């Protein structure tokens, strides 16, 4: 089975990401309008504990598996790749089952000491998702390793479609019994979607792709069996430091609501009011990280691509992949930053009907470029087997974020804006540390000329965005958002083309849409 190129994989994952985000935003709108900011905050307080338990259950084996499979296929060690696939599946099945049972046993204690009591039904529902999510993640890691991103991308779309179809009616129905059951409906819908996505990938694997690690049949299997030693060591070399990094990040994430509640209490704000404020902040973060669906798609294909290049000792290819990822992320980040700064209020008001969420979004927007570029930098460190470096960065930035939340809320009395300030500062520090660390292993050259051109294009796009916002100030917020967004994107792309950020010979290499873009670019006046 032919593998996909780096660009093909990125385009496939990005297309799937855009489709799924569009459907996911429908769910977010229903959640926000049915449950309100307090219900949204209640749902968000469950996520840190859920992701912590999920991190333990997966043991970072999906990225480790994709790296080990990509490396060994590049070197012809098919037996080692097959063994890694089997070990990863068995490990996550055992870990996830054990974690699920243990979490269900202590759920009442968690409700008394950690969560709002109303969150317990949703927390119990979330625990049943863990085994399915773990198996699905490992299956996605397998496909990333053989560099065929189409099945996980399609499964992603299937999962989100089922999740949307199930969650919306469930939330509307169960919310009549209280926001605790409305939050439970979200977890039930998510579980149904994740099950559908996993079953789709499993069907594709059984039907077509199960022999991808033994392309020459049984003879090749027996011939490569002797190469299967050291698989656990290879998986653990990536999984252990990555898990440590994730655990530190998730512990900080899980501690964030507790520290926030303590800080708000110290400043005289009740827990229910703090939950509402945190819900507005979570809404803002959902919108802020919306464009990361594209940068995350790029990052998901960076790990196996960098691993393969490193295994072949091709340093120039590693450098090229890194710089491609960073430049593509910057191209996404600058217009997003400009749009959220100018139209963030209306975007949040349109989607969530919450003015505070819009104010927080516009407040944090200037730092979003730093937050977006973290994805490809972390992916390169994992691909180079330097995940332990990410652990160090995570420790430092998590400490900064937690300390910052308490200082800005409890001492500086900045309220929910203090939480936003702490998150922004920790993101900037994390980005700068990641750049410094990556440059120790890879020749990261930053094309400042292109970066400057992107900033000029984004500044040019800000003019029509601002003018549309002003001209449509008496119109409904959704009309302002749609018109300013469409016109702003068009202006950004046109200016980027005339500034030659990308040339036709580069665009034509992009799968599917590249030749069409190059042809359109060639017909634009005054360009040649």
155-181 confidence digits (pLDDT tens):
888 998 999 999 889 988 888 888 888
Among 192-201, 244-253, 297-306, whose mean pLDDT is lowest? Answer: 297-306
As a 3-state breakdown, the chain gives helix, strand, coil percent values, each rounded to 5, of 85, 0, 15
Q: So what's the pLDDT on residue 132?
A: 93
In this predicted model, which residue has the larger pLDDT, 296 or 219?
Answer: 296
Q: So what's the pLDDT on residue 403?
A: 92
Together in a domain, 321 and 336: yes
Report d(CA 25, CA 9) in Å as an integer. 24
Together in a domain, 415 and 460: no
Provide the phi-psi class of 230: left if phi over 0, else alpha when psi is between -120 and 50, else beta: left
Together in a domain, 522 and 377: no
Report d(CA 63, CA 66) in Å as an integer. 5
Return all residues near 72 (Cβ < 8 A) that are at least 6 apart. 78, 80, 81, 84, 227
Structural domain includes residue 301? yes
Q: So what's the pLDDT on residue 220?
A: 45
Together in a domain, 173 and 266: no
Mean pLDDT of the region 390-416? 87
Report d(CA 6, CA 499) in Å as an integer. 25
Candidates 92, 159, 104; CA nearest to 128 is 104
Together in a domain, 338 and 396: yes
* Dihedral over alpha carbons 505, 306, 513, 146 (to 10 degrees): 130
Mean pLDDT of the region 119-139? 89
Structural domain includes residue 225? no
Together in a domain, 144 and 194: yes
Structural domain includes residue 250? no
Domain-terminating residue out of 145, 175, 210: 210
pLDDT > 90 fraction of the chain, expressed in percent and rounded: 14
| Domain count within the chain | 3
Distances (CA, A) of 126 to 25, 122, 231, 306, 464: 20, 6, 32, 34, 44
Q: So what's the pLDDT on residue 428?
A: 92
Q: So what's the pLDDT on residue 226?
A: 45
Q: So what's the pLDDT on residue 225?
A: 46
Q: Residue ranges of the alpha helices (H) in 106-223?
A: 107-113, 120-127, 130-145, 150-174, 179-204, 218-223
Q: So what's the pLDDT on residue 94?
A: 93
Domain-terminating residue out of 414, 444, 474: 444
Using 50, 70 and 90 to split pLDDT, how confident is the model at 426? very high
Structural domain includes residue 235? no
Q: For tokens 């905050």, name the residue.
A: 41
Structural domain includes residue 134? yes
Q: So what's the pLDDT on residue 321?
A: 74
- Would you say 105 and 32 are in contact if contact means Cβ atoms under 8 Å apart? no
Q: So what's the pLDDT on residue 364?
A: 92
Q: What is the pLDDT of residues 341-364, one digit of tens each?
A: 988 888 888 888 888 988 999 999
In this predicted model, which residue has the larger pLDDT, 315 or 492?
Answer: 492
pLDDT over 70 at 376, yes or no: yes
Structural domain includes residue 122? yes
pLDDT over 70 at 519, yes or no: no
Range of the domain at 72: 1-210
In this predicted model, which residue has the larger pLDDT, 416 or 518?
Answer: 416
Report d(CA 181, CA 186) in Å as an integer. 9
- Would you say 168 and 26 are in contact if contact means Cβ atoms under 8 Å apart? yes
Domain-terminating residue out of 410, 444, 478: 444
Tokens of 103: 């979490």
Report d(CA 81, CA 142) in Å as an integer. 9
In this predicted model, which residue has the larger pLDDT, 87 or 46?
Answer: 87
Together in a domain, 463 and 416: no
pLDDT over 60 at 43, yes or no: yes
Q: What is the pLDDT of residues 461-497, one digit of tens each?
A: 999 888 888 787 777 777 888 888 888 888 888 888 8
pLDDT over 50 at 219, yes or no: no
Together in a domain, 491 and 439: no
pLDDT over 60 at 265, yes or no: yes
Q: So what's the pLDDT on residue 325?
A: 77
Identity of the highest mean pLDDT range in 32-46, 71-85, 92-106, 287-301:
92-106
Together in a domain, 440 and 452: no
Together in a domain, 136 and 191: yes
Together in a domain, 337 and 436: yes
pLDDT over 50 at 332, yes or no: yes
In this predicted model, which residue has the larger pLDDT, 242 or 528?
Answer: 242
Instruction: List own/partner pairs for 265-272 with CB under 8 A and 24 or more apart.
Output: 266/409, 266/410, 267/409, 267/410, 267/413, 267/415, 269/415, 271/116, 272/38
Q: So what's the pLDDT on residue 133?
A: 92
Structural domain includes residue 220? no
Q: So what's the pLDDT on residue 111?
A: 66
Among 7-21, 279-293, 474-488, whose mean pLDDT is lowest? Answer: 7-21
Together in a domain, 158 and 293: no
Q: So what's the pLDDT on residue 134?
A: 92
- Would you say 93 and 131 are in contact if contact means Cβ atoms under 8 Å apart? yes
Structural domain includes residue 247? no
């Amino acid at each position: 089975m032919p593998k996909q190129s780096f660009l093909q994989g990125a385009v496939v994952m990005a297309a799937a990401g855009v489709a799924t985000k569009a459907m996911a935003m429908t769910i977010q709108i229903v959640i926000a309008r049915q449950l309100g900011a307090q219900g949204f905050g209640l749902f968000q307080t469950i996520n840190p504990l859920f992701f912590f338990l999920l991190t333990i259950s997966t043991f970072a084996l999906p990225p480790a598996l994709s790296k080990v499979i990509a490396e060994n296929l590049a070197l012809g060690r098919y037996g080692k790749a097959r063994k890694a696939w089997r070990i990863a599946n068995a490990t996550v099945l055992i870990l996830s089952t054990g974690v699920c049972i243990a979490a269900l046993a202590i759920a009442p204690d968690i409700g008394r000491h950690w969560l709002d009591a109303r969150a317990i039904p949703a927390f119990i529902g979330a625990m049943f998702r863990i085994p399915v999510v773990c198996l699905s993640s490992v299956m996605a890691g397998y496909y990333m390793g053989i560099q065929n991103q189409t099945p996980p991308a399609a499964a992603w779309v299937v999962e989100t479609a089922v999740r949307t179809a199930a969650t919306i009616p469930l939330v509307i129905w169960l919310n009549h019994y209280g926001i605790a059951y409305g939050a439970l409906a979200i977890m039930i819908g998510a579980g149904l979607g994740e099950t559908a996505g996993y079953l789709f990938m499993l069907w594709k694997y059984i039907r077509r792709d199960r022999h991808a690690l033994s392309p020459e049949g049984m003879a090749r299997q027996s011939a490569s069996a002797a190469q299967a030693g050291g698989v656990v060591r290879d998986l653990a070399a990536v999984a252990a430091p990555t898990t440590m990094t994730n655990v530190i990040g998730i512990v900080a994430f899980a501690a964030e609501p507790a520290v926030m509640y303590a800080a708000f209490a110290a400043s005289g704000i009740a827990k229910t009011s703090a939950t509402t404020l945190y819900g507005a902040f979570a809404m803002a973060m959902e919108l802020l990280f919306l464009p990361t669906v594209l940068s995350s798609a790029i990052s998901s294909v960076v790990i196996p691509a960098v691993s393969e290049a490193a295994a072949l000792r091709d340093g120039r290819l590693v450098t090229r992949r890194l710089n491609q990822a960073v430049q593509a992320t910057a191209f996404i980040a600058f217009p997003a930053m400009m749009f959220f700064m100018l139209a963030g209020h209306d975007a949040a008001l349109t989607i969530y009907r919450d003015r505070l969420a819009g104010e927080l979004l516009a407040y944090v927007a200037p730092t979003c470029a730093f937050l977006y570029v973290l994805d490809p930098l972390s992916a390169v460190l994992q691909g180079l087997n330097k995940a332990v470096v990410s652990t160090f960065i995570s420790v430092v930035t998590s400490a900064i974020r937690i300390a910052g939340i308490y200082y800005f809320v409890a001492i500086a009395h900045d309220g929910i804006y203090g939480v936003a300030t702490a998150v922004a500062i920790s993101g900037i520090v994390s980005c700068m540390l990641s750049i410094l660390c990556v440059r120790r292993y890879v020749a990261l050259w930053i094309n400042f000329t292109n970066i400057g051109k992107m900033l000029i294009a984004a500044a040019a796009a800000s003019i029509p965005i601002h003018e549309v916002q002003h001209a449509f100030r008496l119109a409904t917020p959704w009309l302002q958002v749609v018109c300013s967004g469409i016109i702003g994107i068009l202006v950004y792309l046109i200016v980027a083309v005339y500034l030659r950020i990308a040339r036709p010979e580069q665009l034509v290499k992009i799968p599917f849409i590249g030749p069409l873009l190059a042809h359109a670019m060639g017909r634009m006046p005054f360009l040649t």
